[in-house]
Every structure is written in C-alpha cells, then in structure tokens.
Chain A
Amino acid sequence: MTARARWLQLSLALYGVIVLLYATLVGWWVYFFSQEGELFERLFAEAGAPLDAHQTAVLTAETERRFYMFAAETAFLGILLLASVTFVIRSLRREMAAARQQRNFLSAVTHELRSPLASVRLYIDSIRLGRVDGEKQQRYLRHAGQDLDRLGELVDDLLSTRRLTTEGVTVALQDVDLGELAERCVERQGNRHVGTGVAFELAVTRPTLVRADAGALDKVLENLVSNAVKYGGEQPRVHVSVRAEGRFAVLAVRDHGPGLRGVDPQTILQPFVRGQDEDVRDQPGVGLGLYLVDEFVRAHRGKVAVNDGLEGGGTCVTVTLPLAGGARAPDSKVAP
C-alpha cells in the first residue's frame, strides 16, 4: 500500500470516529429533549387542571427556547470537533511530510557520500593491485579527483546549511563586479569540464557593480552553474548572463535540459526538496544547492526566481540584486 493510500485511510478513520461520536451526542440530546417534553406533559396531566392560554404560551416558549439551546450547543460542539480534527490531521500531515523529507534527505546523503567513496576506493585498489596501467591509470586518477571534489562540495554544503540554520548568514558588503565574478566562474567551470562536451555561453555587461559579499556571490554562481551542468541533459549547454535593469543587477543561469520534471518551482528553494522518493533517483544531489543560493541572495536583499518549461526546454534561475551606488547599507545579518 502506498503512503498516500495509508494516509487517506487514516484520515477517513479519524473522520469516521468523529462522525460516530457526533451522531451519538445528537442522538442522546434528541432522546433527552423528548424525555423532558413527556415529563412536562405528565406533570400537567397529574395536576388535573387544564392549562390556560397563558400557561400554554409559556410552555410553548420554554420548549422552543430549550430546542434552540440544544440545537446551538450541538452545532457549536460539532464545529469545535470538526475544527480540532482538521487541525490534528493537518499537524499529522506536516509531521509525516517532515519525516519523509528527513528520510529522503538521509537516503540522498548516504548515496551521495558512499557512491564517490566506493568509486575512489575501487580506482585506488585497481591501481594499487596493478590491474590497470598507462593511460587508464591517469584516467582513474582524474576521475578519483573529480569524485573527491564532489565529496568536498557536499561536505561544504552540509556545513554551510548547519551554520545557516544555527547562526544565520553573515555577509561583509563591498562593491563587487557581478559581471567579472560570472566570467571567472564560467572560466573555472570550463576548465573543470574540458573535453566533456559541456558548452558555456556568456553574455555579461561589465562592470555591473553590486554591494555584496564576494565569497557568498561566488558560492551562488558556483552552485547555479554546477546545477545547470548537472541537469543540462546529455550534452549540457549553459547560458550565463549578467545585466543591469533599472536599479537592479540581473544574473540569469539557464540550462537546456529536461527541466524540473514535476518538481514545484515554488518549493525547489526549500532545503532537502527533491520532489521524489529517493529509491527512484532521477537526479543527483541532496537538495541543498538552491536553498543555499536563496539564503545568500536574501542576505543581500535580493530575490531568486526559478522558471521552468521554457521554450526550447530547460530551467532558468534568475537572481536579482540591488545595484551599488544607492544608499549604502551597512554590513547586514539575516537571522536564521
């Protein structure tokens, strides 16, 4: 049975119990009300004297008043019960989603840590035992290096997330040319992917000065460009542009891959969001890159937007930052 079906069963069972409780309560009230009516009639019958018009009117008014009182109490209790159950179910759903997210995250981290470790170990074993030579040895060493880089990036991301959630983002602001940073990032990525068929296109306006922390912006650029390569399909083509628009600098990184494939662009900036169960693993990573990008950009009073389903395929991540030259903000700190 799927988790969704189990959840539906649980919700239905909870609502069923509430409906039963409520029906019992209403039944008891109806019984009590009718018993009370009979009691009045019996008392008057025992008194022997016929009721005059005034007494009849008082009795009718009292009966009506009691009826409305019971009805109001029933309705009030019903609404209260319904609201509580809805609240409980919502809380449960949130808890279950959080637990699933954590399970997925642990699963993804396990995979992302152990897979490169496994290949590095086998590369080293193969060389140590003299099973490969010459060109293949060099290739193995290069691949082992790439695996270690990948491990290093993951550890960095995990530590950054840890710091971010406990201490918030601290940025030291200065005038930085976003265009120059983008050029340097693409150059680094180009060197890393020589001979792999990854193509980079760059369209930057220089200088595009922003008031920012150069280290944090570098991290943003590295994450976005690495993501575009990772999700760029068989032959990734990554387009990076920097331009000024009004009082803002706009950085856009676009790939031409298969896109987010059903993952909600609104939730992709949240930590550990990967959009699927981890047993079926369509995309590498643990779901931290865009979360870190968003946190860093927000610390600069900027915004991140993710656009999917573009003409020609792919995903475009746009970062908007205030241009330098306006009122110079002091060093800022955003609480976790």
Chain B
Amino acid sequence: MTKTPMSGRPADGKPADGSSQAARILIVEDEAHLAEVVADNLEIEGYDVEVVGDGVAALERIRAATPQLVLLDVMLPRMDGFTVCETLRGEGNRVPILFLTARSSTDDRVRGLQAGGDDYLGKPFDLSELILRVAAILRRTEWFEAGSSAGEELRLGEAVVDFRGFTARIGERELSLSEKETMILRCLAERPGEVVSRADILQRVWGYDAFPTTRTIDNFIVRLRRLLEPDPKNPRYIHTVRGTGYRLTP
C-alpha cells in the first residue's frame, strides 16, 4: 500500500531547497497512544521523529539535539508545556514550537502564544490539519533561515536592522527586536516599494489562522515605527496602504 505524504513536501521530509537532512521533529506528549499515531504519521511524511513523555526530558532533549520543530503538549508530567516554552525562549532558544493540547480556550491560546509558541492546535484535531501546519511552520523557518533577496541587513535612514542578530542599530544605540518584528521587516524588505498585504504577512510570519485577526500586524507595525522611524506619526519608511497592507521604502 502506498503511504502518500499529505504536506506536498518531498516524501523524505527534506526541505524544498534540496539540502539533504530530513527535518527533525520532537514530540512532547505523555499520552502514549497519541504520541504513537502522531509520530507514525509524521514519519510517513518523511520527518525524523523523536518522542519524549515529560517536560523536563523535553528541555534536556531540545538543548542537546536542537530539533527543527517541537510539538508540545501543555499538561505534562514534571513540568508543564508553557513553562518549557518560556524557559527555552528565556535562554534565547528560537526552536519553532507548535502547542498540541486539550486546553484550547482563547485564554489558553493567548497564554501559549505569549509564552513564545509559534502556533496552537487544540485536541482533538484533524490529521491533515496537523500535517499542513507542521509543513507550514517548517516552510516559514526555512524561508527565514535561507538567504534572502533582502540580504542580511536593512538600512532605514540612520537605522540599520540586522536580520540575523534580531537587532537594530541607530547610531550608538542598539535595539533588540523580537522574532516576529524581524520577520515582518524582512517580509517587507524582500519587496521594497511594493504593497505587501496583511494576509501575505500573516501567511509568511505566523502561518494561517494562528491569530484571529490581521489587526495584530498593525500593532507590530506601530511598534516598529516607534523604534525605527524618526517621526512615527509621519512615517518615512514604513507606509500604510489603506485597506490593503504596507509598503517599505528604504
């Protein structure tokens, strides 16, 4: 019987850029049956999968093996998933994290995303949705890590943004940017002078429906203007195109 990958990726789970390694995914789940069936299906997709059953073991494994994606349950033995995520982010670890959890209220989702999670999927979930989300997160990571037409740096007047270091320098002052802020800037910088729609940014930076509203992007833009524009109320570099999206004019 043929076992066909659903993600549209090559059957060996290798990235589309032709590099040879299958993506390594760590599943952190204490429910043995769920871990088994998720792991089997991701292996069918060609990913290299490992399973651990508690929060402390997950932290140790992520620090030691640096997977490309972590599927993280929230209610876990020894340490809960939110704490695992916060601990990793506190250490500067940017491994993409997809929460897979029975706790799917809006409050829980917000808490998961505030803890530094990249996406949130409530149990029970659809197999194809899981596989597509995994593929989407890995694609975003690949896009961000691969070389970009935007280059390594972006110059906006006196401000110089370093995409690799997640920082911006204005004269002697160095500002720290969040991962999402950096990704939004790079998304705009790849198409200078063109209008980039909110939907495009959402797709690139968060993946579909991770956030309920495109207004979230507007809040990030306001903060970026405050950091980088000489006069945030009359922006010179990051322009709003009413009803559509944003345009960057370096």
Return the contact of B127 from the options A122, A147, A281 (Cβ within 8 A): A122
Nearest CB in chain B: distance from A257 CB, A: 13
A119 within 8 A of partner (CB): yes
Chain B residues, CB < 8 A from A122: 34, 37-38, 41, 124, 127
Say yes or no: B124 contacts A281, CB within 8 Å: no
Contact at B40–A111, with CB atoms within 8 Å? Answer: no
> A260–B55 Cα gap in the complex (Å)?
20
Main secondary structure of the interface of B (DSSP, over half): loop
Q: Tell me if B133 is interfacial: C-beta within 8 Å of chain A.
A: no
C-alpha gap A132/B43 in the complex (Å): 12
* A126 and B127 contacting across the interface, CB-CB below 8 Å: yes
Q: Contact partner of A123 among B37, B123, B126, CB < 8 A?
A: B37
B72-105 CB contact bits vs A (8 Å, 1 = yes)?
0011111111110000000000000000001100
Asked if A115 is at the interface (CB within 8 A of a chain B CB), the reply is yes
Q: Is the CB of A111 within 8 A of B41?
A: no
Establish whether residues B34 and A118, one from each chain, have CB atoms under 8 Å apart when the complex forms.
yes
B residues less than 8 Å from A24 (CB atoms) = none
Cross-chain contact B76 with A280 (CB below 8 angstroms): yes
**In the bound complex, how far is the Cα of B111 from the Cα of A107, in angstroms?**
15
Determine if A121 is an interface residue (Cβ-Cβ < 8 Å): yes
Flag if A126 contacts B82 (CB, 8 Å). Answer: no
Q: Is the CB of A147 within 8 A of B33?
A: yes
Interface size on A, residues (CB 8 A): 31
Cα A66 to Cα B34 in complex, Å, equals 78
Complex Cα distance A111/B30, Å? 11
B231 in the interface (beta carbon within 8 A): no
CB distance B31 to A282 under 8 Å?
A: no
User: Is residue B3 contacting chain A, with contact meaning CB distance below 8 A?
Assistant: yes
Known: A119-B37, A282-B78. A110 touches B44 (CB 8 A): no
Of the candidates B36, B40, B75, B122, the one whose C-beta lies within 8 Å of that of A279 is B75
A117 CB to nearest B CB, Å? 4
Q: Residue of A at shortest CB range from B44?
A: A131
Provide the residues of chain B in CB contact with A100, threshold 8 Å: none
Check A126/B41 contact, CB under 8 A, given A114-B124, A280-B80, A282-B77: yes
Q: Does B126 lie within 8 Å of A116, measured CB to CB?
A: no
Q: Mark B123-144, 1 if CB is under 8 A from A, else 0.
A: 1111110000000000000000
* Interface positions of A from 97 to 130, Cβ below 8 Å from B: 107, 110-111, 113-123, 125-126, 129-130
Query: Which of B's residues lie within 8 Å of A, judged by CB?
Result: 1-4, 6, 30-31, 33-34, 36-38, 40-41, 44, 55, 74-83, 102-103, 122-128
Name 26 A/B residue pairs within 8 A (Cβ), A-sorted. Answer: A107-B103, A111-B75, A114-B123, A115-B102, A117-B124, A119-B36, A121-B124, A121-B126, A122-B127, A123-B33, A123-B37, A125-B126, A125-B127, A126-B127, A129-B127, A130-B1, A130-B2, A131-B40, A132-B40, A140-B37, A143-B37, A279-B81, A280-B75, A280-B80, A281-B80, A282-B78
